[in-house]
Structure 1
Amino acid sequence: MATPLTPDKLISILRAEGVHIAEYPGWRTRGRDDETGRPFGPVHMVLNHHTAGSNSLATVAKNGVTGLPGPLAHIHLAKTGVATMCSSGRANHAGLMARNAYTSFLNESSTHPAPAKSSGTVDGNDLSYGIETENRGDGTDVYPRAQYDAWVRINAALCRVFDWSAESCGDHKETSVEGKIDPKGPVEGYGTRGRFTYNGKQLRADVAERLKHAASWSPSTSTPAPAPSKPTTEQRLSALEKTAASQGKRIAALESK
């Protein structure tokens, strides 16, 4: 069980983790608590999303969409890696979670079952922090390196402050009973890793690795040294000639004694 962070504390832990922060006007007092009569918290997990569009900041932070008032997340993550604070209270990002899936994140299980509505549901907006990451979600729009790096850092910062493991970080598609598919899409790279396809298991592995280090840590971005090239025929012959000459000199020196 964890009490939601104050706005100042939330910003503080993200900055300590190396996340670049912006603040959407009014975010410190914006939430869905009063409108629904349901408070935010206690919180038990982080839920990750893609925006399914571009230039979505105002939609996520304030305007919402038809039938779903904003804010739609606590944090909007731009392709530049800038995290804009959108809400400090309850946000309309998670919807109904399947209880079996939610319980696996609550218990920080090493595996997470497919969400089954038959197991019952819980309102994910009450108990999870939501991150909306800018991406069209069409399977071709790429998450740049800076964006994915910040994504890992945000998840890790929340886990670190609440003493959660990386298994408290989930995807919308891993909890939703409404058939949500987010997040999805290709990632440009991370650390020394090249392009790969986003998946929750990999994100959790990257968060887990980060949690082994101080908040100031950054993954190595060095390029592995290329494999040595095979010697050419001329180089091999030259090496043999040098070896033979050296052996000849040693034999001559022994014979002269």
Structure 2
Amino acid sequence: MAPPMTASQFLAALKAEGLRVVEVGDWRNHNRNHKGPWGPVHGVMIHHTVTRGTQRTVEICRDGHTALPGPLCHGVIAKDGTVYLVGYGRTNHAGLGDPDVLRAVINETALPADNEASTDGNRHFYGFECENLGDDKDPWPDEQIKAIVKAITALCRHHGWSARSTIRHLDWQPGKVDPRGPGMQWDDILADVSARLGTKPPTKPAPTPTTPVVDLSKLVAAAKADPAASGTPVTYSGVRTVEAALVDAGYLAKAYSDGHYGTATVQAYAKWQRHLGYTGADADGIPGRTSLTRLGDKYGFDVVA
């Protein structure tokens, strides 16, 4: 799993990417951590504010309002590209969203349709609110778009993520439409992030709404053979599904969710087995039908023998 950056690392990463950054008050200690955990983090989420005027926007995002206490994000990206840091830690920006989307972000695969609101996004995402009315008329200046690209890149670079670890609020929570408007070309933003990271831009395969299926026998074969294999060969595609679940559970670092059932995955699965009460040889990291079914029931995949 990926622990959140420290506030100092967050600030340094943004500046290193060439952003103009303004620190607003005691942003490092302004958060909602008393309401729940902050981390592990799995990605970056971009929003629009439905406000006009940078000063007012920053104030609202820092202080919140009657229905939603602040901070409402980690950073506000103004029209001129300046990033105002208003909070750090757990913030009220993402709300509840789709667990299938979270698994896709963890696994850096194509996003499914968001049709559930049951998973705590404030825990798992960095959030940037971007100054825009959100009326589909207010334009997005080039300076602001470039700043969005740099902010995303800064966090992805630190964590070793690709552009696929970035989503919009509309990708996460049913009914949300942000960000939108003239100049907000999301595919271009992700392509620019990929270019800065030196990686290939994400492709856009059609989302697959069906529940993933993991074949136990193929998974066991991978678990026994992969640790000794060199590199990170993807011997069975279902390994990615299981690894995404282990990342979601907090037992596996996202960097090791690569389709290779290596030593880190064995150790992570053994933690899951111990969590279920297994000990000794029954908690060796090699999946069994019961433990795998319970993992699938909790994290959204089916198991076949």
Unaligned ranges ≥5, structure 1? 188-197, 214-257
Counterpart of 1:248?
none
Higher relative contact order (Cα pairs below 8 Å, separated by 6+ residues): 1
Counterpart of 2:157?
160
Give the 3 Å change call, closer, same or farther, for CA 199–105 of structure 1 in structure 2: farther
**Structure 1 counterpart of 2:61, one-letter code:** V
**Structure 1 counterpart of 2:60, one-letter code:** T
Structure 1 residues 33-44: aligned runs within 5 Å = 33-34=33-34, 36=35, 38-44=36-42
Counterpart of 2:6?
6
Structure 1 residues 57-206: aligned runs within 5 Å = 57-61=58-62, 63-109=63-109, 111-117=110-116, 121-177=118-174, 179-187=175-183, 198-206=184-192
1:143-178 deviation line (CA, Å, top 9, x unaligned): 11111101000000000000001000000000103x
Q: Supply the distance in 1 between the matched residues of 2:91 and 2:185 (Cα, whole angstroms).
A: 24
User: TM-score if structure 2 supplies the norm length?
Assistant: 0.62
Conserved 8 A contact 1:170-1:200: no
Conserved 8 A contact 2:145-2:189: no
Unaligned ranges ≥5, structure 2? 200-305
Q: How many aligned positions are there?
A: 196
Query: Shift in Å at residue 121 of structure 1?
Result: 2.2
**Structure 2 counterpart of 1:203, one-letter code:** I
**Structure 2 counterpart of 1:153, one-letter code:** K
- Alignment pair present for 1:52 and 2:66: no
Conserved 8 A contact 1:101-1:115: yes
Q: CA RMSD in A?
A: 1.3
Q: Supply the distance in 2 between the matched residues of 1:155 and 1:78 (Cα, whole angstroms).
A: 15
Q: Supply the distance in 1 between the matched residues of 2:114 and 2:187 (Cα, whole angstroms).
A: 16
Q: Supply the distance in 1 between the matched residues of 2:177 and 2:27 (Cα, whole angstroms).
A: 27
SS of equivalent to 1:46:
strand
Q: Supply the distance in 2 between the matched residues of 1:18 and 1:89 (Cα, whole angstroms).
A: 23
1:215-248 deviation line (CA, Å, top 9, x unaligned): xxxxxxxxxxxxxxxxxxxxxxxxxxxxxxxxxx
SS of equivalent to 1:186:
coil
Q: Supply the distance in 2 between the matched residues of 1:201 and 1:60 (Cα, whole angstroms).
A: 26
Q: Percent identity, please.
A: 40
Give the 3 Å change call, closer, same or farther, for CA 145–199 of structure 1 in structure 2: closer
- Point out the structure with max Rg over C-alpha: 1
Q: Supply the distance in 2 between the matched residues of 1:29 and 1:47 (Cα, whole angstroms).
A: 21
Query: Shift in Å at residue 200 of structure 1?
Result: 3.1
- Alignment pair present for 1:23 and 2:45: no
Conserved 8 A contact 1:70-1:92: yes
**Structure 1 counterpart of 2:4, one-letter code:** P
Structure 1 residues 223-242: aligned runs within 5 Å = none
Runs of 4+ in 1 over 6 A off after TM superposition: none
SS of equivalent to 2:65:
coil
Q: Supply the distance in 2 between the matched residues of 1:15 and 1:44 (Cα, whole angstroms).
A: 21
1:96-130 deviation line (CA, Å, top 9, x unaligned): 11111121111100x2111021xx62100001000
Q: Supply the distance in 2 between the matched residues of 1:170 and 1:199 (Cα, whole angstroms).
A: 13
187, 193, 216: which one aligns with 1:207: 193
**Structure 1 counterpart of 2:31, one-letter code:** G
